[in-house]
Chain A
């Protein structure tokens, strides 16, 4: 008896059919096909354009006409170490560090309250309060802060009302952090950045604190540790990965920003502005590319250190 006696429809021999058979036979092929679009995007469009840009740093620029001379040279990279350019690097890293530390100090108590004390309703309100600033436009917030920090703005008005204008003036007369008014000083710039990036610090810290088992804190108390000792030896080490995870955000965001320093601050350039000015306005793409390498290297170093603390488990 042959199969032909059963009246089965013969299998269709379309191209699609053969393709589907192929996929079935070779399982890894379908994985490859599914991954191809994102991989092409990441590899070619995203990383490709980044490397093409960074690769420009080995070129130099014709000094008068502003056209790029496509001959490999290390001159452009060495230019980063000229005092004025090196200042820009140190200034930016300094500001980013200050912003990160300030964010950590402010965020910790807030996150601690939200993680350990807030009830369900308070927690909902907390999330809303933390997220709300992120819903409004970045520029509106920055210009808002310019008005707050202005010489004739809200902060100095309040300081005057509270009889603290002497203290404000004393602060502004300090070298480095001072200046003619808050809005044209490093203090104002750090405050604005801190405001902008604070939510990115609070949320990971809170997540980390929620994972600290309450029993450990009770145990520390039972064993005779005072609140300060418990905090230092139990809570802080366990919450540290969260702080570092938050720091990755605040540090890298500050490192790359170029809008805030245009509106608030001392007029001295930061990294983002230097890149923006050099590639966007001066047409000096090689030097801009060289500058762009710096935050990548700084962040690579930062992330390597952060990984050691286990920060990525808390993300």
Chain B
């Protein structure tokens, strides 16, 4: 910027000048150049499809021809894996969930985003534009990609066609409508963030604990959540990790209820299995993913081009149809044949207010004066719960 501005690039100069007025937080890209020929992205499985699984679902090929940036994807299975990959480096972008994004920002692994270089930024859902999981002190560290809520997946035969009204069917031993106990017939998620699901349940059923936010737990509240999970350990059939194994367990293992993702529900319903999903009265935890750029991204121009491409209504709609998620761009609910007119509603677009989005628990928290239990303890304690301790 210092050396190569010329009068011919006046608009860019003006843009630069206006940007230099802002407090300098970190190296923020000021203008876009030519694409570098490739972009390396860490993403959830199924998030970046190039028509290899199903020809109709392809939002990469088009981008590659238009921008000349070849898209390389490294899939990650958990948020922790994403953080680890970004800490290692060598990637340009990551589709980070809320429980990874703040860790990436704190670790100084992701760069602030210049929203002026993303022409469609204004089309992003207002509720997501400055969401606290990617915006720190007014600085944006990413572009919202998709969101969704975790659902209670259940077997309609075991529940006699009636949707369970509370998460208690997976937290407390009880007789289900089909007359058999739920012991050994339910599953729970195997990530430490599942502790928040227990806290959410306690928030509704034990108000005396004073839980305000399932991601901000004091020692006493945290202990109550762990106690609930230890009780749950006795009735859990398996802690699910792999979506396809959960699908198999609902098919062959007689599992009838579990916290799950719309992805598994859609797959089982498409196989004509007696499966449905619901969001019980307590609400649900959910995830909102953000495309974030590495501070040392080797291909920043291609990365910005991808971020712009990622919020195109067609991409957003197709992805929502594929993944069972909700677009970050409301216009996408109408823009995709694959998603259909009712797609957004089916995937839970109306659940935004009921959803408590994944966030990394930190020691200094907003709702509890005495401070909260930080994430690293969630990790070690959840390993202990899994081991029956």
Residues of A within 8 A of B (CB): 61, 63-67, 82-85, 87-88, 91, 146-147, 150-153, 179-181, 183-184, 262-263, 266-269, 274, 277, 279-283
Q: Which 3 A-B pairs have the closest CB atoms?
A: A180-B184, A84-B384, A65-B107
What CA separation (Å) do A228 and B25 show in the bound complex?
Answer: 82
Which of B78, B184, B375, B380 meets A179, CB within 8 Å? Answer: B184
Residues on A with beta carbons closer than 8 Å to the beta carbon of B87 = 66-67, 283
Cβ of A290 to closest chain B Cβ, rounded Å: 13
Nearest to B362 among chain A residues (CB) is A64
Find out whether the CB atom of B84 lies under 8 angstroms from the CB atom of A153: no
List, sorted by A's number, 19 A–B pairs whose CB atoms are closer than 8 Å. A61-B376, A63-B375, A64-B362, A65-B103, A65-B107, A65-B108, A66-B84, A84-B389, A85-B383, A87-B384, A146-B248, A147-B252, A150-B248, A151-B254, A152-B252, A153-B252, A281-B80, A281-B84, A282-B379
Nearest to B382 among chain A residues (CB) is A84
What CA separation (Å) do A179 and B80 show in the bound complex?
Answer: 29
Find out whether the CB atom of A84 lies under 8 angstroms from the CB atom of B380: yes
Interface hits, B331-379 → A, CB 8 Å? 360, 362-363, 374-376, 379
Find out whether the CB atom of A83 lies under 8 angstroms from the CB atom of B384: yes
Residues on B with beta carbons closer than 8 Å to the beta carbon of A180 = 183-185, 237, 253
What CA separation (Å) do A183 and B248 show in the bound complex?
Answer: 12
Decide: A262 near B241, CB < 8 A? Known: A64-B106, A184-B253, A282-B84. Answer: yes
Residues on A with beta carbons closer than 8 Å to the beta carbon of B190 = 267
What CA separation (Å) do A136 and B252 show in the bound complex?
Answer: 24
Find out whether the CB atom of A64 lies under 8 angstroms from the CB atom of B248: no
What CA separation (Å) do A147 and B103 show in the bound complex?
Answer: 39
What CA separation (Å) do A83 and B248 show in the bound complex?
Answer: 33
Interface presence of B236 (CB below 8 A): yes
Decide: A262 near B242, CB < 8 A? Known: A66-B83, A67-B87, A84-B383. Answer: yes
Which of A83, A91, A283 meets B80, CB within 8 Å? Answer: A283
Interface presence of B239 (CB below 8 A): yes
Cβ of B238 to closest chain A Cβ, rounded Å: 5
Residues on B with beta carbons closer than 8 Å to the beta carbon of A179 = 184, 237
Which of A64, A88, A266, A280 meets B84, CB within 8 Å? Answer: A280
Find out whether the CB atom of B103 lies under 8 angstroms from the CB atom of A152: no
Nearest to A143 among chain B residues (CB) is B248
Cβ of B307 to closest chain A Cβ, rounded Å: 23
Residues on A with beta carbons closer than 8 Å to the beta carbon of B122 = none
Q: Kindly list 19 other residue pairs between chains A and B, CB separation below 8 angstroms, not including A67-B87, A269-B386.
A: A64-B374, A65-B108, A66-B87, A66-B107, A67-B107, A82-B380, A84-B380, A84-B387, A87-B384, A88-B383, A146-B248, A151-B252, A151-B253, A152-B253, A179-B237, A184-B253, A277-B80, A280-B81, A281-B77
Which of B80, B108, B239 meets A282, CB within 8 Å? Answer: B80
Find out whether the CB atom of A184 lies under 8 angstroms from the CB atom of B238: yes
Cβ of A262 to closest chain B Cβ, rounded Å: 6
Residues on B with beta carbons closer than 8 Å to the beta carbon of A64 = 103, 106, 360, 362-363, 374-376
Nearest to B240 among chain A residues (CB) is A267
Interface presence of B281 (CB below 8 A): no
Residues on A with beta carbons closer than 8 Å to the beta carbon of B381 = 84
Residues on A with beta carbons closer than 8 Å to the beta carbon of B375 = 63-64
Cβ of A59 to closest chain B Cβ, rounded Å: 14
Cβ of A301 to closest chain B Cβ, rounded Å: 24
Residues on A with beta carbons closer than 8 Å to the beta carbon of B106 = 64-65
Cβ of A128 to closest chain B Cβ, rounded Å: 32
Cβ of B184 to closest chain A Cβ, rounded Å: 3
Interface presence of B245 (CB below 8 A): yes
Find out whether the CB atom of A267 lies under 8 angstroms from the CB atom of B236: yes
Cβ of A145 to closest chain B Cβ, rounded Å: 13
Residues on B with beta carbons closer than 8 Å to the beta carbon of A83 = 384, 389
Cβ of B98 to closest chain A Cβ, rounded Å: 15
Find out whether the CB atom of A66 lies under 8 angstroms from the CB atom of B103: yes
What CA separation (Å) do A218 and B375 show in the bound complex?
Answer: 69
Find out whether the CB atom of A150 lies under 8 angstroms from the CB atom of B387: no
What CA separation (Å) do A66 and B376 show in the bound complex?
Answer: 9
Which of B237, B242, B360, B389 meets A181, CB within 8 Å? Answer: B237
Cβ of B77 to closest chain A Cβ, rounded Å: 7
Interface presence of B388 (CB below 8 A): yes
What CA separation (Å) do A266 and B380 show in the bound complex?
Answer: 18
Find out whether the CB atom of A63 lies under 8 angstroms from the CB atom of B245: no
Mask, B215-248, CB within 8 Å of A = 1, is 0000000000000000000001111011001001
What CA separation (Å) do A151 and B238 show in the bound complex?
Answer: 13
What CA separation (Å) do A261 and B380 show in the bound complex?
Answer: 19
Cβ of A223 to closest chain B Cβ, rounded Å: 54
Residues on B with beta carbons closer than 8 Å to the beta carbon of A263 = 242, 245
Cβ of A125 to closest chain B Cβ, rounded Å: 34
Cβ of A265 to closest chain B Cβ, rounded Å: 8
Find out whether the CB atom of A181 lies under 8 angstroms from the CB atom of B184: yes
